């Protein structure tokens, strides 16, 4: 290691890395795999007949969440961005490992709040904390890796959408971005949707049932059209999305009615809903599933071509008005770089 | 997401996150679990009868490696710090997920070198790249999570050292720290041991065989005495370590002979060797194993008490001179905070 310690809060108030682990992390890791967070590694015995689904999302202070931000917002979002991936894959959460980069401005009280909220989230999502690493850094980050289980061979991939499938999304779109704007002090005249950003609720209960229903699926995290483009590319299909069918909250509708930019609402990202395809004959099963899991579910389009079929359209999602005209969007989603 | 992109190299030269993934990462991920790095998650089918061993180490630029540093040094160390954990646990490498935080000063050419070296390391260690995340950040980091396999129930834990066990270490100690000093322009009069820092070789081949031999094990990454203290604490034992038996390189010996501080050499960290305990009757098997795997192996001490036996000594490793006197060290290892 190159540099000497510089974080007074962790080194003094919490008694260093080992104090931090003992006081704040080990209480969240009362499970067999974690070995009390006192070993070099975690150990997990995978149940036979299941595949392990692994997803990682890293969140950097000031890039992926405002800095400073409420500790609960940071913990909630770190968990939700990963849970939405498991939900989209049809996986049941099992465990996670957390790599925590701590900058000197994250004081002991803040870390306590962060870990309290993180523990609450672990319980809510049914995730065990198995291990991780804590390091000093000039800019705080959380890199969370989550592990889920699906019956062998059943993970719902991005590849798999079929010609004629219906396209669905869960929840409402745009509130992730709108909620963030409200956190930042903008759009405060609209109904308060900050919780959609600060405490997102990916549709895990519905997602877990998709293994027998969906042909393809992904989480909507960058922006609806950008994400559906990825699904089209992976599946080798194109799809039509009906603008008038896209579900918004009251706040989202009001934003648009007041002349707000569709591209910002749809392409701002952070919704953590899921988008998937399923054959039309699954419609009744999906309606029942949406009711049983109390999840808003909306059919927004249809897979309209198979790539390589010869007649031209590229593998992407096309947004259409009620007249059928294509609506071109300059920004289809958040660009990470 | 809060901030707009600021990394010109990734956004322009590499065509953004997806260009980066396509050009530099996907070629390293030609395996079934990674799904071409084009899905939300990786999927791994664990072989039956095995446990999954999971370890994470995060490295931050300027904290865990010099910044700037050769790209190969960064890739080698990120892999080796995690491989040493698998080696200590007796695990066989299977796959990894990489969470990569990229600051604007890491330009496209540097990223190419980094990923070339990372790919070379994956091959050398027998690891598949299954997935991960790439994000922008003001300070670059690599958070690598590695997955290994051990026969069910066989992972070598830190807990397990028994009264009367011998204590062993692999390789030589101190060259990680000394090599770093040389990278930083110090200690250049000594034999060049920079490779011990820039391209560490944890004893994986030997480690994998420890499942049937060692009673406890861990990697030596913070400093010998600090790490052995952790092993004592987890196992509930104390141990005596014979100073004169600790193995050094020629450079390490020369450093000490010239009056260099033992505490710096032993407590500087970064060695990525392993320390373990085994019953005396395994001595011959270990000698044979060391030969077969061409690994330097040295017996440096013995487990001398079981905690709670009533006679006082705390659960820790005690460094002793040839006369048996305790050698007190102010610094026993690197402190992360």
pLDDT at B290: 98
Nearest chain B CA: its distance from A173 CA (Å): 15
Which residues in B lie closer than 8 A to residue A48 (C-beta atoms)? 48
Q: What is the rounded distance in angstroms from the CA atom of residue B163 to the CA atom of residue B182?
A: 40
Helix (H, G, I), strand (E, B) or coil at A310: coil
Q: A13-38+45-151 in CATH: which number?
A: 3.30.1330.10
**Predicted local distance difference test score (pLDDT) of residue B18:** 75
Peptide bond before A68: cis, by omega within 30 degrees of 0?
yes
Chain A residues near residue B134 by CB distance under 8 angstroms? 336-337
β-strand partners of A133: A99
Rounded CA-CA distance A276/A234 in Å is 13
Q: How far apart are CA B167 and CA B261, in angstroms?
A: 24
Question: Smallest Cβ distance to B40: which of A64, A66, A218?
Answer: A218
The sheet that has A273-278: what strands, in order across it? A216-220, A273-278, A166-170, A297-306, A237-242, A317-320
Tell me the CA distances in angstroms from A103 to A60, B213, B273, one per residue in order: 11, 41, 29
Evaluate the omega torsion of the peptide bond into residue A148 and state whether it is cis, within 30 degrees of 0. no
Please, what is the end-to-end C-alpha distance for chain A in angstroms? 29
Q: Does the fold of domain B166-320 match that of domain B14-36+49-151?
A: no
Q: What is the average pLDDT across B302-324?
A: 81
Q: Could you confirm whether domain B14-36+49-151 is CATH 3.40.50.720?
A: no
Distance CA B32, CA B47 (A): 14
Contact residues for B158 (Cβ-Cβ < 8 A; gap 6+): A35, A38, A39, A40, B216, B217, B218, B230, B231, B234, B235
Residues 6+ apart with CB under 8 A from B290: B206, B296, B297
Question: Would you call B7 and A56 a contact, using CB atoms and an 8 Å cutoff?
Answer: no
Quote the pLDDT of residue A313: 57
Per-residue pLDDT tens over the stretch B35-70: 999 999 999 999 999 999 999 999 999 999 999 999
As a whole-number percent, the residues of chain A with pLDDT over 90 amount to 87
Quote the CA–CA distance of B112 and B118 in Å, as a whole number: 10
Suggest the residue from A3, A17, A41 to mutate for an interface test with chain B (most B CBs closer than 10 A): A41
B289-311: burial string, b at 16+ Cβ within 10 Å, e else: bbeebebebbbbbbbbbbeeeee
CA distance B11 to chain A (A): 5
Note whether A20 contacts B337, CB cutoff 8 Å: yes
Q: What is the per-residue pLDDT for B3? A: 65
Question: Which residues partner with A320 through β-bridges?
Answer: A242, A326
Q: How far is CA A149 from the centre of its chain?
A: 17
Percent of chain B scoring above 90 in pLDDT: 87
Q: Using the beta-carbon criterion (under 8 Å), do A63 and B130 form an inter-chain contact? A: no
* Distance in angstroms (rounded) separating the CA atoms of residues A59 and A49: 33
Number of H helices, E strands in chain B: 11, 11
* Mean of all residue pLDDT scores within chain A: 93
CB pairs under 8 A between A and B: 254
CB contact under 8 A, B97 and A132: no
The model's pLDDT over A183-238, given as tens digits with 9 standing for 90+, comes to 999 999 999 999 999 999 999 999 999 999 999 999 999 999 999 999 999 999 99
Residue from the list B2, B219, B334 with its beta carbon closest to the beta carbon of A40: B219
- Determine the pLDDT at residue A308: 61
Give B326's DSSP letter. Answer: B
In chain A, domain spans: 13-38+45-151, 166-320
DSSP B18: H
ipTM of the modeled complex: 0.94
Tell me if A315 sits within 8 A of A200, measured CB to CB. Answer: no
CB contact under 8 A, B337 and A11: yes
- Judged by average pLDDT, the poorest of A292-296, A313-317, B196-200, B227-231 is A313-317
pLDDT at B7: 56
Mean pLDDT, chain B, integer: 93
* Measured distance CA(B173)–CA(B296) in Å, rounded: 11
pLDDT score for A7? 55
Residue B309 in this model has a pLDDT that exceeds 60: no
pLDDT the model gives residue B11: 63
Residues of A whose CB is below 8 A from B86 = 41
State whether residue B160 is helix, strand or coil: coil
**Phi and psi at residue B14, to the nearest 5°:** -105, 0
What dotted CATH number matches B166-320?
Answer: 3.90.650.10
Could you give the CA distance from residue A221 to residue B240 in angstroms, rounded to a whole number? 55
Q: Are B276 and B211 in contact (CB under 8 A)?
A: no
Rounded CA-CA distance B296/A235 in Å is 52
- Looking at the partner chain, which of A66, A88, A89 has a beta carbon nearest the beta carbon of B2? A66
């Amino acid at each position: 290691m190159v540099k000497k310690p510089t974080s007074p809060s962790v080194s003094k108030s919490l008694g260093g890395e080992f104090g931090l682990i003992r006081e704040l992390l080990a209480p969240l890791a009362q499970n067999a795999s974690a070995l009390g967070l006192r070993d070099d590694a975690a150990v997990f015995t995978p149940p036979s007949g299941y595949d392990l689904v692994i997803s990682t999302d890293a969140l950097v202070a000031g890039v992926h969440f405002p800095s400073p931000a409420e500790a609960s917002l940071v913990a909630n979002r770190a968990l939700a961005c990963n849970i939405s991936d498991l939900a989209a894959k049809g996986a049941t959460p099992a465990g996670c490992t957390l790599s925590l980069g701590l900058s000197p401005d994250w004081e002991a009280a803040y870390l306590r709040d962060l870990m309290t909220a993180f523990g609450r989230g672990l319980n809510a999502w049914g995730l065990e904390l198995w291990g991780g690493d804590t390091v000093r850094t000039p800019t705080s980050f959380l890199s969370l890796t989550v592990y889920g289980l699906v019956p062998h061979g059943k993970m719902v991939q991005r590849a798999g959408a079929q010609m004629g499938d219906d396209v669905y999304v869960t929840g409402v779109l745009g509130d992730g971005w709108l909620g963030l704007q409200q956190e930042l002090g903008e759009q405060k005249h609209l109904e308060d949707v900050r919780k959609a950003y600060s405490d997102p609720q990916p549709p895990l209960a519905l997602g877990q049932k998709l293994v027998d229903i969906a042909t393809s699926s992904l989480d909507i995290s960058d922006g609806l059209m950008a994400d559906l483009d990825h699904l089209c590319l992976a599946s080798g299909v194109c799809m039509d999305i009906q603008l008038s069918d896209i579900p918004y909250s009251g706040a989202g509708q009001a934003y648009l009615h007041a002349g707000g930019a569709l591209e910002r609402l749809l392409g701002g990202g952070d919704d953590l809903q899921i988008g998937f395809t399923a054959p039309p004959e699954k419609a009744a099963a999906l309606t029942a599933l949406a009711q049983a899991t109390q999840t808003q579910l909306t059919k927004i389009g249809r897979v309209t071509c198979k790539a390589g079929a010869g007649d031209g359209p590229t593998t992407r999602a096309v947004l259409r008005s009620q007249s059928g005209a294509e609506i071109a969007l300059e920004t289809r989603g958040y660009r990470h770089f």
